[in-house]
Chains A and B, each alone.
Chain A
Amino acid sequence: MAGFVARRLVQSVIVLIMVSFIAFSFLHLLPGDAALVILGGEATQEEILNLRQELGLDQPMWVQYGRWFTNALQGNLGRSIFHRESVISVIAKRLPVTIYLGTLALLLSILISIPAGIISAVRRGHISDSIITVAANLGMAIPIFWLGILGIYFFSLKLGWLPVMGYTSPLDNFWLSTKQAIMPVICLAVIPLATLTRQTRSSMLEVIRQDYIRTARSKGLKEKTVITRHALKNAIIPVVTLLGLQARYLVGGSILVEQIFNIPGMGRLMVSSVFDKDFPIVQGCILVVAIAIILANLVIDLSYGYLDPRIRDD
């Protein structure tokens, strides 16, 4: 096990270096000059040159990357061109917001999707299966921005129950924070909820037709025990894999939801930094998201062994 983890960690470091280099190269290939974004189109050549020099943008790309990489190895992700503070401190402000909302959304989707998927599979062909299947299909088809705008229209403008926008930390004002989080969390949860429901249903359908399930039933085990202890544990592996893919939203956020509800999360930070040519921020965000995805995948790989002893023995 230790050897497996060590191998994966070494692979991860190589992946991170490659990701950071590719991201850096692509960002520098984009047209547009960060100095002009800051100074405006009416800047003099002298101003542009001075600022480019001050920001180190006058150096060749490989020199800039080398400097960034050396600093990153020492835990220094650089200084944001626009925010005028360290990248780590900018990300430290945005990441908790995204993780908070993302975690709530993921919990909500897990809590609903797995029971819904099980019910749908066990009661295949019944009205409950039809409703769940149709709802899951709708969840995958509904555009998130449309759902967000519809939510604002009904719950904020028509009913006046929820605020239109904003984010407040639950530590500052729990009640306001909860009200502000409801619509974004629902919007964030819709797609994973639908995907996980469908995956749980199809995995369960596959498993409950197996001989060992029939055997378990014929042994006289209660249906609940058959489903939860024998069927679900085997059917859950593809669902866990899918959950791992959601990790990127936990730290990367969703630009659409953050834009609609005016939430200061990682998604908006990344997109606005790309448009602003704020390279250090984009690099920092990509690094954080890549690390999160690598860690999530590692945890998922390890969890396979727990869920299926055959994998552990291999």
Chain B
Amino acid sequence: MTKKGKAALIRMVSLSLVFALLFSMVIAGCAPKEPVVEPTVPPSAPTEPAPAEPQKEGGVLKLGIALKPTVLGYAAEMRTYQEFLIGSTALEPLGRHDETGQMQPWLAESWESDADAKTITVKLKKGIKFHDGTDFNAEAVKWNMDEFLNYGRAEAKDLESTDVIDEYTVRLNLVTWNSSLMDALFYFVLMTSPTAFQENDKDWAANNPIGTGPFKFASWDRDVSVKFTKFEGYWQEGQPYLDAVEWHLIADAMTAMASFRAKEVDALVNLEPGIARQIEGMGADIKKLETGLGAMAIGFAGDSINSDSPFSDVRVRKALSFAVDSEEITESILFGYAVATNQWGVPGSWSFNPAVEKYAYNPEKAKQLLAEAGYPDGFTTKLTTLNSPMEVQIMTAVQGYLADVGIDAQMELVDTAHYREITNVASDPWDGLMLYRGRGDADVVTYMPRNFSSKGLLMVNGLITTDKIDKLLVDAAAASDFNTVKQIAFELQKEIYEEQCIITPLFVLTMPVAKYPHLHDEGFNKAQASLWTPESAWIEK
């Protein structure tokens, strides 16, 4: 063999070796785990004595979440799921939703509302202190309510003022009676220390949550972690059990899953359905939210406000709802980690109207409606969606369903900032179809006006509004008893989703949380997705 030929042979052999090594590494990676043989217990083993009361105290709870908060200590600027969830490690509201979704007193002792006098009188629990050692009292509540009101938050639009009656009693004075104001304010206004705010400034307060909660704020390393330590002066006797809580902000889903698998975190919060499915079978419990409270609802809507748009015709809007199989999307793309719906909220919630048209998947009916509307051959439109994996997947499925009935929807991907801009009330109407992201809460009075009132804020620039809907929304807010509110909610659902078909709702996410069995009473997804009750959580040693 020549010298050249020898060199070529050596090169070929070494190339083969390197590729073989690489291939074996990949194959080894894909190989199934070896079966683990569990030790067997002899059948005649003596009965064990009853286990002692578990040691609940101690331990550091490590939680993983993909979403990053922007504000953690100033309620007027806190809006997102992750801000409420992480913030509630240190901050508490006046009331909490119970497992049936009803608001119950928490920092409040009790409350009394008077629709005729347009007041809500709140008595506060005594002996509660903020983390900075100052008292939680009526002055503190007034300061928090005033900050929320003066900031211009939509949830406080019917609040006129807050009066201090005595050290532990406040009275909320309303501009007009609003049946949901109490729910909204008691949930949204997480109590923070006025003294801490005044001694520093708003920016400092936003970054330093000083509340009455079971854990004191320790540090916030942006994009990395938020850490809290046990608050020894917590008002609930004997609680909290944990020494500390660490929120790890893990942006990458694969990394989050790996850190959970490596037990670097005890729980992963707000999993994407695809990740939740992969975590199933890792020896973890997956907790789903059944109520829809605080959860995200997904759907899509056409620019019905534009008179020259095909979606200004209600028959076309109804055709959209018949064209898409939301049950199938929920099962095949979301693996059951969402609840399909045809209206606001989830089936079974108090405002869910079972009499509303179900829009069962019927492409023939959709084609017929399109033909009646003058589009027998369909039409071309734009479908704008957020450029995030789940939304793109869902809207790709929607695109396919629409193509089956002749609607050629060209997908356009936008980032969060752009999406918020084009769906904000201050913008011009969008063009074509738009991803809808809303709330899954049953409370139609607080959240529905955002999308469907002529004075709404979200997507109202592209959606039609009607006088009937406006009136029903006002009537629902003004109603003084629950049954009347419920009755009006049913009418609203019928008008918005059946008569006008303004939005095609698809599903409400169940916001899955994965946790290891050693974490007990962890307090996620009890009734409200964004309400965490960390005081009762404990880790089995």
User: Which A positions have Cβ atoms within 8 angstroms of B?
Assistant: 30-34, 36-48, 50, 82-85, 90, 93, 125-127, 130-131, 134-135, 138, 149-150, 152-154, 156-158, 160, 163-167, 259-262, 264, 268-269, 272, 275-277
Contact = CB atoms under 8 A, between A and B. Distances in A.
Contacts of A127: 10, 13-14
Interface in B1-58: 3, 7, 10-11, 13-15, 17-18, 22, 25-26, 29
A165 B417 contact: no
Given A85-B203, A150-B29, A164-B264, 4 more contacts: A32-B416, A32-B420, A45-B426, A90-B222
Interface string B288-317: 000000000000000000000000000000
Contacts of A40: 79-80, 420
A43 B427 CA distance: 13
Interface in B397-427: 414-426
A8 B441 CA distance: 62
Contact of B70 (A32, A33, A38, A262): A38
Nearest to A82: B70
28 contacts: A31-B414, A31-B417, A31-B422, A32-B416, A34-B417, A38-B77, A40-B420, A42-B154, A42-B458, A43-B424, A48-B424, A84-B207, A125-B7, A126-B7, A127-B14, A130-B15, A131-B18, A135-B18, A152-B254, A156-B262, A165-B255, A259-B255, A260-B252, A262-B252, A264-B222, A264-B224, A275-B416, A275-B417
B10 A44 contact: no
A153 B415 CA distance: 31
B281 interface: no
B251 interface: yes
**The 7 A-B residue pairs with the shortest CB-CB distance in the complex, in nearest-first order:** A32-B417, A125-B7, A130-B14, A84-B203, A36-B420, A41-B420, A130-B11
B255 A50 contact: no
Nearest to A162: B262
Contacts of B537: none
B3 to A, nearest CB: 8
A165 B426 contact: no
Contacts of A152: 254-255, 258
Interface string B229-262: 0000000000000000000111110110011011
Contacts of A264: 221-224
A115 to B, nearest CB: 18
B450 interface: yes
B81 to A, nearest CB: 11
A130 B11 CA distance: 5
B294 to A, nearest CB: 14
Interface size for chain B: under 10, 10 to 19, 20 to 34, or 35 or more residues?
35 or more
Nearest to A277: B417
B151 interface: yes
A262 B415 CA distance: 22
A127 B14 CA distance: 7
B79 A48 contact: no
Given A44-B152, A125-B7, A262-B250, A36 B18 contact: no
A33 B29 contact: no
B277 to A, nearest CB: 18
A134 B420 contact: no
B108 interface: no
Contacts of B458: 41-42
Contacts of A30: 417
B237 to A, nearest CB: 36
B18 A138 contact: yes
A270 to B, nearest CB: 11
Given A41-B423, A261-B255, A164 B18 contact: no
B219 to A, nearest CB: 12
A156 B68 CA distance: 25
A276 B25 CA distance: 39
Nearest to B259: A164
Contacts of B164: none
Q: Binding site of A, secondary structure by majority: helix, strand, loop or mixed?
A: helix
Given A32-B418, A39-B79, A160-B262, A131 B423 contact: no
Interface of B: 3, 7, 10-11, 13-15, 17-18, 22, 25-26, 29, 68, 70, 77, 79-80, 151-154, 203, 206-207, 221-224, 248-252, 254-255, 258-259, 261-262, 264, 414-426, 450, 457-458
B251 A259 contact: yes
Contacts of B416: 32, 37, 275
Contact of A48 (B264, B418, B426): B426
A84 B206 contact: yes
A37 B262 contact: no
Given A41-B458, A45-B425, A262-B250, A272 B262 contact: no
B221 A47 contact: no
Contacts of A125: 3, 7, 10-11
Nearest to B15: A134
B258 A157 contact: yes
Given A31-B414, A39-B79, A262-B255, A46 B152 contact: yes
A160 B420 CA distance: 42
Contacts of B224: 166-167, 262, 264
Given A42-B79, A48-B426, A264-B224, A164 B417 contact: no
B159 to A, nearest CB: 14
Nearest to A47: B152
B79 A165 contact: no
Contacts of B10: 125-127, 130
A164 B255 contact: yes
Interface centre among A32, A90, A156 (most CB of B within 10 A): A32
Contact of B29 (A45, A126, A153): A153
Contacts of A90: 222
B248 to A, nearest CB: 7
A41 B258 contact: no
Contacts of B457: 41-44
Interface centre among A44, A93, A157 (most CB of B within 10 A): A44
Contacts of A33: 417, 420-421, 424
A269 B68 CA distance: 13
A293 to B, nearest CB: 24
Contacts of A83: 222
Nearest to B7: A125
A36 B203 contact: no
A262 B10 CA distance: 42
A200 B287 CA distance: 56
Given A125-B7, A262-B250, A32 B255 contact: no
A275 B415 contact: yes
A133 to B, nearest CB: 8
Nearest to B4: A125
A47 B13 CA distance: 69
A157 B262 contact: yes
Nearest to A37: B417
A138 B79 CA distance: 47
B106 to A, nearest CB: 24
A42 B152 contact: no
B420 A163 contact: no
A210 to B, nearest CB: 23
Nearest to A31: B418
Contacts of B29: 150, 153-154, 158
Nearest to A36: B420
B18 A134 contact: yes
A127 B18 CA distance: 12
